[in-house]
Amino acid sequence: MVVGNLRTARVIVDEQAIYDNIDAEVKRLDKGTELFAVVKADAYGHGMVPVARVAKAAGASGFCVALLDEALGLRQAKFTEPILVLGITDPECSALAASGHISLTVGSKAWLVQAKAVMTKEVQLRPLAVHLAIDSGMGRIGFTEISEFLKAVHFMQENPDYFEFEGVFTHFATADEADNTYFDKQVTKFNAYVDALADRPRYVHVSNSATSLWHAACNGNLVRFGVALYGLNPSGRGIEDLPYPLKPALSIETELTFCKKIHAGDSVSYGATYTAEQDEFIGTIPIGYADGWLRRLQGFHVLIDGQFCEMVGRVCMDQFMVRLPQAYPTGTKVTLVGQNQDQTISLQDVADYSNTIHYELACILTPRLPRVYRPLTK
């Protein structure tokens, strides 16, 4: 996708906020516990490589991604730290991952058998680092029976030239909720798998951001630090009590491209869903749903001159309109997410209005919006 560098609209990423969030978490961890920065999905829309650089400087000792392609992108950017691919990768790519010192998630012995067949064809072979996933209740990927899990462990032990059993992990479905009932069931199930091992691998891990923030006793020796890295509360507004303040790293800014006066009875945008009841000023903003600013945000607001201005009419593909308190010149700053004078719109505010979560909103901001990085100040 072409980046809109010549349009006055941008996502601003505060590197200092990312650094501070990671630094605060690292300082809380027990000795010997590592933090891997989760930079999948282009670092939740913040930019994978720039975020990874800041995360490394702040104390992250490795990275988690969702795709092997993302891991290879980090290697191409000269990152040498451990990288774990959290999703299931095609066994046909096992040798490629091994050659790049990239760890893969595995959820069945059958996967290992297929991968061995692939790697047998390689002349220059390097053992593949494997993290076995346990489905303790997420219902997504991983072993559901201890007996099958142990068969996979034994298979790797019998084939040390092909596999290194590097880790075992699970993922919690409700770590970001106040009710711990289901969480505790998952903990018990995962512990049963670990207790069945004669020898533990290097990494035993369960903690995403929510788990580490609110259930730190479960951390194991590795934390997969994701959404909190970007200053976003994993629970949304569900749990407000945090061990340290999270600093949001992302803001969205643009400028007015047009300002006009309309009269009572005039309508705005597709479907004429908004009709003015009196004479008023309307401003046009050069961002739309093609940039990830959702069509259903009609009726929400932006900040202009420190004032909340309602979005009127349907959001278009490339533009939307707002009702202004007065006429403003083109080029006036518009804040969609972030601070404008003494007022703030958070990504959580946008999520609440659009009936989704802030994770989704950050991830759907398209590459058409250039990412501009506010550099570290210390």
Q: What is the mean pLDDT of each run of 10 residues along the chain (378 residues)?
A: 94 98 97 97 98 98 98 98 98 96 98 96 85 97 98 97 97 96 97 97 97 93 98 95 97 98 98 97 98 98 98 98 98 98 98 97 98 92
270 carries an active-site annotation:
yes
Q: How far apart are CA 165 and CA 253, in angstroms?
A: 46
Q: How far apart are CA 216 and CA 235, in angstroms?
A: 16
pLDDT for position 378? 73
Q: In terms of Cα–Cα distance, which of 269, 308, 261 is closest to 288? A: 269
Q: In terms of Cα–Cα distance, which of 246, 239, 196 is closest to 214? A: 239
Q: How far apart are CA 105 and CA 66, in angstroms?
A: 10
Q: How far apart are CA 21 and CA 244, in angstroms?
A: 9
List Cβ neighbours of 358 (8 Å cut-off, separation of 6 or more).
227, 232, 236, 346, 347, 348, 350, 351
Q: How far apart are CA 73 and CA 345, in angstroms?
A: 33
H or E stretch at 340:
strand 333-340
Could you tell me whether strands 307-312 and 343-345 are parallel, antiparallel, or unpaired per DSSP bridges?
Answer: unpaired
Q: How far apart are CA 5 and CA 302, in angstroms?
A: 22
Domains of the chain listed by start with CATH number: 15-230 (3.20.20.10), 250-345 (2.40.37.10)
Cα torsion for 232, 50, 254, 271, to the nearest 10°?
A: -70
Catalytic residue selected from 40, 44, 274, 289: 40
pLDDT for position 263? 98
> What is the greatest pairwise CA distance in the chain?
79
40 carries an active-site annotation:
yes
**What is the b/e burial string over 79-108, where b = at least 16 CB atoms within 10 angstroms of the residue's CB?**
bebbbbbbebbebebbbbbbebebbbbbbb
Tokens of 269: 């945008």
Name the DSSP letter for residue 207. B
pLDDT for position 1? 84
> Residue 23 phi/psi, 5° resolution?
-60, -40
Residue stretches of the annotated binding site: 140, 317
> Residue 182 phi/psi, 5° resolution?
-70, -35
Catalytic residue selected from 162, 193, 270, 333: 270
pLDDT for position 52? 98
Q: What is the pTM of this model?
A: 0.96
pLDDT for position 29? 96
Helix (H, G, I), strand (E, B) or coil at 132: strand
CB atoms within 10 A of CB 270: 12
Radius of gyration of the CA atoms of the chain, in A: 24
pLDDT for position 124? 67
Residue stretches of the annotated binding site for substrate: 140, 317
Q: How far apart are CA 286 and CA 268, in angstroms?
A: 15
